[in-house]
Amino acid sequence: MKTKFYILSIFLLVSFLACKTETNKENIKETTQDIEITDDQQDFLGITNKNKLSAASKRALKWGPNLGNEWFFEYSMHDLKGDLAYEEGVVRRDPSALIKHDGKYYVWYSRSVGPSQGFGGDVVKDKVFPWDRCDIWYATSEDGLTWKEEGLAVARGKAGEYDDRSVFTVEIMEHEGIYYLCYQTVKNPYNVRVKNQVGLVWSNSPNGPWTKSKEPILSPADNGIWKGEKQDRFAVEKKGDFDSHKVHDPCIVPFNGKFYLYYKGEQMGEAITFGGRQIRHGVAIADNPKGPYVKSEYNPISNSGHEICVWPYDGGIAALITTDGPEKNTVQWSPDGINFEIKSVIKGAPHAIGLDRTADNEKEPTEILRWGLTHQYKNSDYQYIRGFKTWRMRQHKAKGVE
């Protein structure tokens, strides 16, 4: 009896799988029949059978007829000279974009001193990260290679203010003769559940003095719920929006008569996905550079990324997406600054890119990336600012072939 029941079960299972396979075949056939493929498309993509398309081939057909290499680049890095060369005991990281004023390039960056102790000690007194206990400094250069450190630009706030612990990861924007610096802020104590915000200063000169916003111009979403009282940022009852924990790496870009503040969002209870952190980008929009900034209802506008690197191109906004997520190491473009499409997959990119805002960014998609500044880890305690350059890879050849 058991043998008959076993044979019957096997028969039913095989019949079910066969029916499911036939159904899948029919679905594949139906979806394929709706797709028209030209002979040129078939030849370029190397498709064996127009009527038998894999999911990968269907995606490839959406790439468009003008698929080229103008969005693709490779890069190298080099040391700088002068005051931005590596200095033992000093952290210099997260360079801003480069602007030019009175014949000199200007850059702003995070600066702190001494090693980091992490979260194991007294988070009120210790330095927990290299970007902790930072102020914003700036430097100038005539050639982009040898730099002179000019000194402090933006200091941490007074005790009790929203930026009394650290100000860091700065970005520059010049608009109608006014210079704006936006940056991350942390309020003391710096524990693992602290919520970072975004601050803003402005001046009539890149040399200051700077007027600081009395309140942050951007804050995390307030709809996540921590679980318990222990300092555990992965313990949550509700994760909330993609930016419920931190808003990082701000960058303001004038666009379509408004001001688009792009930023990195970190979520409470952040997960690991696709082999990287669950990092996404958002945008907040204002009519005035000083705000108020209103977050887009379409956030998040990326499913991947880390540091913000955006620039105007061809009537829209281009973005370099790196480090984390399923679409890391891609260059993307959006006609409206919100809906981005992948334009190229790259081998990698410098960290925390400081773009050359003096470049002719309309010359070609990645012209603004031809040179700039980056940072590199010397070790876990100290980072320093370096230069980078990029170039388009137009074709590939075997070694020794002209």
pLDDT score for 112: 98
Largest CA distance in the chain: 95
- For a pLDDT cut of 70, what percent of the chain falls above it? 90
The residue ranking higher by pLDDT, 234 or 33, is: 234
User: Which residue in the block uniquely carries the two structure tokens 């250069």?
Assistant: 141
State the Cα–Cα distance between residues 215 and 373, nearest whole angstrom. Answer: 30
Q: Measure the CA–CA gap between 65 and 72, rounded to whole angstroms.
A: 17
CA distance 279 to 277: 6
- From 19-33, 254-268, 330-344, the region with the lowest mean pLDDT: 19-33
Going across the sheet that includes 383-391, the strands are 74-78, 383-391, 371-377
> What average pLDDT score do residues 375-389 get?
97
Instruction: Label residue 376 by pLDDT band (50, 70, 90).
Output: very high
Measuring CA to CA, how many Å separate 232 from each of 7, 191, 194, 229, 235?
53, 9, 11, 8, 6
Task: Give residue for tokens 């468009």.
Answer: 64
Can you tell me the mean pLDDT for 332-341? Answer: 97
pLDDT score of 120: 87
Per-residue pLDDT tens digits for 151-161: 999 999 999 99
pLDDT band at 66 (very low <50, low <70, confident <90, very high): low
- Cross-strand partners of 261: 252, 284
pLDDT at 1: 47
Averaged pLDDT score across all residues of the chain? 91
Is 70 exceeded by the pLDDT of residue 114? yes
pLDDT at 29 over 50: no
pLDDT of residue 382: 97
What confidence tens digit (pLDDT) does each residue in 178-196 have? 999 999 999 999 999 999 9
Residue 296 in tokens: 């887009």
Examine the pLDDT at 50 and tell me if it is beyond 60. Answer: yes
pLDDT band at 222 (very low <50, low <70, confident <90, very high): very high
What does the block give as tokens for 37?
Answer: 């493929």
Burial of 244 (0-12, 13-18, 19+ CB in 10 A): buried
Closest by CA position to 210, among listed 182, 247, 176: 182
For residue 65, pLDDT over 90 is answered with: no
What pTM, to 2 d.p., does this model score?
0.89
**Per-residue pLDDT for 24 more than 80?**
no
Decide: residue 161, CB within 10 A, 0-12 exposed, 13-18 middle, 19+ buried.
middle
Q: Tell me the three state secondary structure of residue 285.
A: strand
> Average pLDDT, stretch 104-123?
96
**pLDDT confidence of residue 17:** 44
Structure-model confidence comparison of residues 146 and 30, the more confident one? 146
What pLDDT band is residue 67 in, cutting at 50, 70 and 90?
low
**Interval 325-331 mean pLDDT:** 95
Q: What percent of the chain has pLDDT over 90?
A: 81
Please, what's the b/e burial string for 349-382 (b: 16 or more CB within 10 A of its CB; e: otherwise)?
Answer: bbbbbbbbbebebeeebbbbbbbbbbbbeeeebb
